[in-house]
């Protein structure tokens, strides 16, 4: 299938992990309108190219991590960091998203 | 009337005259029905073979015009059906269907060709039943044999809860006059003797939802039939024409795109086209096209893999689906077993096959049919599925005026092709949302009115 570089366990087969989905920053639940919340819940970027995404190492270290993958070739372009830190992602990387900050990934909180 | 059309109709009439038979004389009326493309006939085949004639192109290849009334992006079943019904039901023929590869190169030529209407929600049932009705009469409507085989469709239940869902589905179906019922393992064995219904398996078969009107159909013929029918009415098909951008003005996003904007045309690799209406029928590539107009979609692209075995004697008379074992299987008229499973577990645009899929599939198939262990797989392939969160499609108008979507079909787009085309054509022609597709509007994700079909659509085909 493909090898996913887990920061703790090294490269592992994708079937060992659970694909959580695109990494989007979660809006503050106390401040958002229902429409904004639903946009966060349902809308996807789904680019054919670089995608920042969250994986869960289900049968390894059982940790969440963020990775950067090219969805056309399935190549990972960075070495991911554990948790919801995205430090390994190149800051100049062109990410098609309206999200303002990446410090609070919904999937890992 | 173009010269091509004259050529085709006169040659088919000639073949009738040559044969001189009375029965074929009576078919002349059918053949000369100007509203339909000419029929292919055995007599015509014989005469052409004897004369050594070449066959005319099935649809024309013409130059791209500067403007159209409607531009349809995506030349699969959905795009072509929309074009066909626009031309036949509503008389809108200044239509172009664009495809970046060849017609039917995406999901329309990669699916496992199963059709059924035994869904879970009343909205879903009504919708797919209309599709099945259209498939039933398609061969006569399009004057092309699409090889519809109404062989019955069986969804196996391996657990008590699965059986409960089957009963629920059967009741929903019966309420809407769909032939669908729950049967016990003995009846399953009668319908498909090769299935192992003994209680000694890991997941014993406890019953099944049997849906006699379900079956299979030749998917390529459906694509060609719609293309031919649409061409006959004057619609243009443009292959190898990739849409690079969609021109929108007046929207709230960058370059005037996005909410409140109005479509003015598309930019392709063969030049710009101006058009007031652009329809997105691009399945797995749906978000890439919608992004060009500034419309966000709740869609992720996942590949769905399928495989086919070597041909053997026909032994499996129905379509067999098992949700718990993640497999569906049918036997083609040629004798090959066609297998499919659920989508790959992560989003990607890559259509590479994987060993995991084959391994898992083989294991599950052997649990169902232990006696085919010596059978060999011929090949496997993948197609791209546009998955929505509620396993229901996104159809109709978007926040951008003139930009319509018929996407989000996920793993079940083929069986919905005809009805989607019919309803989308009605939406375009009347500029209002037909009742049948009203529940599938894009704004349901903003309003929170999702149409949950996962119970009946996730694996079951």
The string of pLDDT tens digits covering residues B279-304 is: 999 999 999 999 999 999 999 999 99
Q: Which domain holds residue A58?
A: 3-100
**Considering the domain boundaries, does residue A28 fall inside one?**
yes
**Strand blocks (E) in B109-252:** 114-115, 153-157, 181-183, 207-211, 215-216, 236-238, 243-249
| Inter-chain touch B350–A72, beta carbons under 8 Å | yes
Q: Which of B299, B354, B446 sits opposite A35 (nearest CB)?
A: B446
Interface of A with B in 54-83 (CB under 8 A): 71-74
| Radius of gyration in angstroms for the set of CA atoms belonging to chain B, rounded to a whole number | 23
**Considering the domain boundaries, does residue A107 fall inside one?**
no
Predicted pLDDT at B189:
95
| Cβ–Cβ < 8 Å for B413, B283 | yes
| Inter-chain touch A43–B389, beta carbons under 8 Å | no
Predicted pLDDT at B8:
40
Query: Which residues, other chains included, contact B84 with Cβ-Cβ below 8 Å and sequence gap of 6+?
Result: B226, B229, B230, B233, B235, B421, B425
The string of pLDDT tens digits covering residues B257-280 is: 999 999 999 999 999 999 999 999
Mean of per-residue pLDDT scores for chain B: 88
Nearest to B223 by CA among B58, B38, B65: B58
Backbone angles phi and psi of B400, in degrees to 5:
-95, 120
Q: Which of A1, A48, A51 sits opposite B288 (nearest CB)?
A: A48
When pLDDT is averaged across residues B337-356 and rounded to a whole number, the result is 92
**Considering the domain boundaries, does residue A56 fall inside one?**
yes
**Considering the domain boundaries, does residue A57 fall inside one?**
yes
Interface of B with A in 15-34 (CB under 8 A): none
How is B274-307 classified by DSSP, letter by letter?
E-SEEEE--GGGHHHHHHHHT--B--EEEEEEEE
| Inter-chain touch A51–B448, beta carbons under 8 Å | no
> How close B173 gets to chain A, by Cα (Å)?
29
Predicted pLDDT at B298:
95
In chain B, the percentage of residues whose pLDDT exceeds 70 is 91
- Contact status of A30 with chain B (Cβ, < 8 Å): no
Predicted pLDDT at B75:
95
Nearest CA in chain A to B347: A71
Q: Which of A18, A34, A44 sits opposite B298 (nearest CB)?
A: A44
Predicted pLDDT at B53:
84
- Contact status of A45 with chain B (Cβ, < 8 Å): yes
In the block, tokens 């089957």 appear at B166
d(CA B4, CA B10): 10
**Considering the domain boundaries, does residue A105 fall inside one?**
no
Q: How many domains would you assign to chain A?
A: 1
The string of pLDDT tens digits covering residues B372-428 is: 999 999 999 999 999 999 888 999 999 999 999 999 998 889 989 999 999 999 999
In CATH terms, the superfamily for domain B153-217+301-387 is: D-Amino Acid Oxidase, subunit A, domain 2 (3.30.9.10)
Domain range annotation of chain B: 3-51, 153-217+301-387
Predicted pLDDT at A90:
42
What is the block-wise mean pLDDT of chain A (109 residues), using blocks of 10 residues? 85 91 89 89 93 92 90 82 48 38 38
The string of pLDDT tens digits covering residues B134-162 is: 998 999 999 999 999 999 999 999 999 99
Cα-to-chain-centroid distance, residue B295 = 24
Is this prediction's pTM over 0.90?
no
Predicted pLDDT at B449:
82
**Considering the domain boundaries, does residue A106 fall inside one?**
no
CATH code for the domain of A57: 3.30.2270.10
Predicted pLDDT at B461:
43
How many CA atoms does the CB half-sphere of B331 hold within 13 Å? 15
């Amino acid at each position: 299938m493909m090898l996913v570089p887990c920061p703790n366990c090294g490269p592992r087969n994708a079937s060992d992990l659970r694909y959580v989905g695109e990494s989007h920053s979660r809006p503050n639940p106390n401040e958002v309108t229902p429409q904004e919340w639903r946009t966060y819940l349902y809308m996807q970027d789904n680019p054919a190219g670089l995608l920042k995404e969250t994986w869960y190492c289900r049968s390894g270290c059982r940790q969440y991590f963020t990775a950067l993958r090219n969805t056309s070739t399935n190549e990972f372009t960075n070495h991911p960091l554990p948790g919801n830190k995205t430090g390994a992602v190149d800051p100049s990387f062109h990410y098609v998203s309206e999200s303002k900050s990446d410090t609070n990934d919904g999937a890992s909180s | 009337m173009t010269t091509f059309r004259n050529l085709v109709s006169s040659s088919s009439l000639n073949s009738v005259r040559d044969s001189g038979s009375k029965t074929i004389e009576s078919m002349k009326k059918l053949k000369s029905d100007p509203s339909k493309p000419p029929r292919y006939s055995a007599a015509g085949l014989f005469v052409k073979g004897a004369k050594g004639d070449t066959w005319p192109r099935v649809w024309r290849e013409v130059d791209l015009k500067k403007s159209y009334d409607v531009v349809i992006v995506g030349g699969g079943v959905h795009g072509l059906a929309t074009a066909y019904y626009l031309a036949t039901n509503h008389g809108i023929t200044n239509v172009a269907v664009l495809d970046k590869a060849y017609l039917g190169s995406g999901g329309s030529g990669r699916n496992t060709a199963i059709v059924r209407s035994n869904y879970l929600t009343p909205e879903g049932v009504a919708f797919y039943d209309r599709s099945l009705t259209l498939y039933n009469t398609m061969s006569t409507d399009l004057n092309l044999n699409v090889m519809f085989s109404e062989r019955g469709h069986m969804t196996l239940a391996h657990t008590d809860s699965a059986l409960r869902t089957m009963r629920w589905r059967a009741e929903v179906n019966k309420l809407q006059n769909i032939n669908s019922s729950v049967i016990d393992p003995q009846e399953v064995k009668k319908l498909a003797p090769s299935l192992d219904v003994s209680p000694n398996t890991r997941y014993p078969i406890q019953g099944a939802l049997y849906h006699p009107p379900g079956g299979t159909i030749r998917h390529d013929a459906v694509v060609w039939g719609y293309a031919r029918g649409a061409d006959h009415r004057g619609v243009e098909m443009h292959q190898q024409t990739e849409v690079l951008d969609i021109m929108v003005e007046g929207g709230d996003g960058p370059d005037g795109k996005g909410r409140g904007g109005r479509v003015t045309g598309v930019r392709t690799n063969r030049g710009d086209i101006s058009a007031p209406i652009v329809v997105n029928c691009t399945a797995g590539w749906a978000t890439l096209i919608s992004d060009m107009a500034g419309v966000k979609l709740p869609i992720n692209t996942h590949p769905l893999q399928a495989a086919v075995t070597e041909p053997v004697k026909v032994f499996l008379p129905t379509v067999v689906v098992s949700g718990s074992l993640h497999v569906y299987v049918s036997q083609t008229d040629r004798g090959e077993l066609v297998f499919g499973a659920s989508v790959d577990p992560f989003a990607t645009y890559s259509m590479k096959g994987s060993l995991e899929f084959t391994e898992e599939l083989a294991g599950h198939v052997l649990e169902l049919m232990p006696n085919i262990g010596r059978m060999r797989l011929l090949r496997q392939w993948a197609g791209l599925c546009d998955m929505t969160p509620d396993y229901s499609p996104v159809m109709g108008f978007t926040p951008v005026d003139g930009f319509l979507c018929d996407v989000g079909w996920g793993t079940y787009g083929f069986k919905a092709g005809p009805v989607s085309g019919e309803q989308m054509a009605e939406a375009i022609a009347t500029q209002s949302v037909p009742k049948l597709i009203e529940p599938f509007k894009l704004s349901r994700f903003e309003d929170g009115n999702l149409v949950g079909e996962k119970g009946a659509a996730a694996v079951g085909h």
